[in-house]
A and B are shown apart, each in its own frame.
Chain A
Amino acid sequence: MLTIKNLSVAVGGKEILKGLDLKVKAGEVHAIMGPNGSGKSTLAYTLAGRKDYKITGGKILLNGENLLALDTEQRAHKGVFLAMQYPVELPGVNNMMFMRESLNAIRRSRGEEEYDAVDFIKLIGEKAKQLELDEKLLKRNVNDGFSGGEKKRNEILQMSLLEPKLAILDETDSGLDIDALRIIAEGVNVLRDPQRAIILVTHYQRLLEYIQPDFVHVLIDGRIVRSGDKQLALELEDKGYSWVVEEAAA
């Protein structure tokens, strides 16, 4: 589904990703781990299409199509979804209306029928219930005054609503207590599907106890230096990143 070849990305004139390679097939869950500043979030934002991130080399193909040629919203139409580490607050923009606009924009782009208000309320109500998200939050403005955990749940709610082909979760576990983590992990697990690929960007192994990855990659200094299965995550938890760094340098 996703092929990243020799990808280099600069942010604010500084090169962050330095020739990154990654292949993700449909149905797989990949975890990307790495120390602070290694380029994990840069990779996530680059996939979603942030304009201020400059591609200095390499390519990204989504189902054979050049992803880098597409605008942010076109990528969303193709099924790319990024659950952000710091979901943005949208004052004055109603959460429910925003999600409906969003779902309908994506459906329109695919020539599918749009949801009317009544059907949408039903749909969103069910999804919110699954994630134990207070329905009052749907009536508020997007993320406006939400707690950290509520924001993350709201991201997963959007993900389950938009049913992406490629879902990228950027540090979705950060700042969550164990109960919230469990609920969110369940929300993600429900979405595991042979047609869908999921990339989990995370600092800690903790999330991977709840969402079992098929592959684990270690990202250091803008490159994937080691890949393995979920055992690798446990090793990292145990020994830290330094041994990978040393091995990579050797």
Chain B
Amino acid sequence: MIHAEQQHDWLQKLIAQAEPDSIKNNTAWLQQIRDNAQRAMMHCPTINRKQEAWRYNRIDKLFEKNFKLLSGDVDFSKVDIHNCLLPAFDSHRLVFVNGRYAGQLSDIKKTPDNIIIGSLRDVINLQLKQIINCFSHTEKNNTQLFSQLNMAFLNDGAVIHIGDHIELEKPIEIIYLNTNSLSQLDAADNDGVMTQTRNIITLGVGTKVTLVERFIGTDQDQYFHNNLSDILLAEGASLKHYRVQDESPEAYHLSNLSIAQQKNSRYYSSHMAFGAAWSKTDININFKDEGAKCLLNGLYVVGDQQLTDFHIDVRHSVPACTSKEHFKGILYGKGRAVFDGHILVDKQAQHTDAQLSNDNLMLTRDAEVDTKPQLEIYADDVKCAHGTTVGQIDPQQLFYMRSRGLSETTAYKLLCLGFAGEIIDSIEEKILSEHVSKKLVQILDEQVFQQG
């Protein structure tokens, strides 16, 4: 149970160590936003496990940590980015180290005026109106503690603005690397760095883009990464969005994504969660006009000392939109996962097509998943379905495979890969889907079946 004082003290300590400047061109409006957010977060209700969103999530562990906000410059020359790159993956690459944009590690060519791919720090003046709008929208509408926290101590983030009728050939890739080694932290007086990244992504009318986000942590570092993203898709725009959370096994990770979809827009996404001791991903889909479609696929692999939490909220407030969600989980050891998928179909949202499913494969008795699919429907002419499964490997399947000469371990592995394959294969960037597949094999080899 979290006491109000615990949350209050945790925030107070952060405010006490905050340095006034982290973004250059620091304008009065931004300072104002920050100050407001600092005040707002102090007044956010205490998070406790009686609240539905936190019922299965031990957030108290986070509030016990003494994270350090970064100040001053980071020496990027010490970072070995090559370890983090996908071989032969050609992308417009933005690299953030501990929440700071690292231009020298990134790969962004000069682009025409109607294409902006850059860091918030660099483009804050260029795209002022859009950025101000986005911040003030969050200030008013996204009043959750961690969104306010993100604005209060904002480090940097990605601004992606692609104009109308553009088909971007190469994918955009954002790499977030977190490491304690750069920051001359005295390990004795803190529990690692805390970073706030904020992304603002807008696609113009009829524009098509692929975006890859990869969260990477080094070694066994403990840190807290709090990411907040706003995605706006104009009429007929299409975003393929692939996120891979592969933080350090000691890390805390929080992502909050808001996606607003205009008429006939498409949001196709895959959300992978492998790392972090504690991670929570909130995804909010808002259909703003008819004919839009979103596809959310997800895979979480969760083991000892890990908690992985997905909260998905799809709001059908206009007619004739389609949402499909399919999340799969593989749990082992004492791994814990939470899946909370909520679909709301408003009264006027006729001809909605909404599907939600969550399947979990439990490899051990001690693993636990709390899964909660929810459909709330107020319209009468809709097609909606939801379902969830929690199961084990079928002994008949194991026997069959072993009777063909495969070892028990190999049989288990093939069945796990088969289970996850559907989600992994939905990643259309081949190099990335192979990377994800290898990551899963690595976890199965090193963590799950290490004895064989």
Contacts and interface: CB of A to CB of B under 8 A. Distances in A.
B146 interface: no
Interface string B394-421: 1111011111111110100011011111
Contacts of B219: none
Interface in A71-86: 71-73, 75-77, 80-82, 84
Given A91-B418, A92-B417, A106 B403 contact: no
Given A76-B404, A91-B419, 13 more contacts: A52-B395, A73-B408, A81-B403, A82-B403, A88-B394, A90-B418, A92-B418, A92-B422, A93-B414, A93-B418, A105-B404, A109-B405, A158-B404
Contacts of B415: 90, 92-93
Contacts, number: 78
Contacts of A77: 405
A109 B418 CA distance: 25
Given A52-B395, A91-B418, A76 B405 contact: yes
Interface residues of B, number: 23
Nearest 4 interchain pairs by C-beta: A92-B418, A76-B405, A72-B402, A102-B404
A92 B405 contact: no
10 contacts: A49-B402, A51-B395, A71-B402, A81-B403, A88-B399, A90-B414, A92-B415, A92-B418, A98-B404, A98-B414
A48 interface: yes
A162 B405 CA distance: 9
A101 interface: yes
Interface of B: 394-397, 399-408, 410, 414-415, 417-422
B395 A92 contact: no
A229 B420 CA distance: 51
A105 B405 contact: yes
A184 B407 CA distance: 28
Counting chain A residues whose Cβ lies within 8 A of the other chain, the interface size class is 20 to 34
Contact of A92 (B403, B408, B410, B419): B419
Task: Say what secondary structure dominates the interface of chain B.
Answer: helix
A169 B135 CA distance: 69
Interface string A95-120: 00011011101100100000000000
Interface string A13-57: 000000000000000000000000000000000001111100000
A68 B361 CA distance: 31
A103 B405 CA distance: 8
B403 A72 contact: yes
Nearest to A49: B403
B400 A162 contact: no
A29 B223 CA distance: 67
A88 B401 CA distance: 9
A190 B362 CA distance: 43
A6 interface: no
Given A50-B399, A84-B400, A102 B418 contact: no
Contact of A87 (B400, B414, B422): B400
Given A90-B415, A92-B418, A101-B414, A106 B400 contact: no
A141 interface: yes
Given A50-B399, A84-B400, A90-B400, A73 B405 contact: yes
A155 to B, nearest CB: 10
B314 to A, nearest CB: 26
Nearest to A158: B404
A87 B396 CA distance: 10
Given A101-B410, A105-B410, A73 B402 contact: yes
B406 A73 contact: yes
